[in-house]
Copies of this chain bind each other. A is one copy, B any other.
Amino acid sequence: MTSDQPSLTPGRSIGARTWVVADGYIPPESTGPAPAMTSHDSVCLLNAGSADAMVRIVVYFTDREPAGPYVLRVPGQRAHHQRINDLQDPEPVPVGVDYSLVLTSSEPIVVQHTRLDSRQAANALMSTIAYSGS
Instruction: Please give the residue numbers on chain A whose beta carbons come within 8 Å of chain B beta carbons, in ascending order.
Output: 1-3, 5, 7-9, 14-15, 18, 20-25, 31-32, 36-37, 42, 44-46, 48, 56, 58, 60-69, 77-81, 90-91, 98-100, 102, 104, 110-133
Contact = CB atoms under 8 A, between A and B. Distances in A.
B110 A127 contact: no
Number of copies: 4
Given A20-B15, A79-B100, A67 B1 contact: yes
Contacts of A78: 60-63
Chain A interface mostly helix, strand, loop or mixed?
A: strand
A126 B129 contact: no
A127 B127 contact: yes
A110 B128 contact: no
B66 A1 contact: yes
A128 B127 contact: yes
B58 A79 contact: no
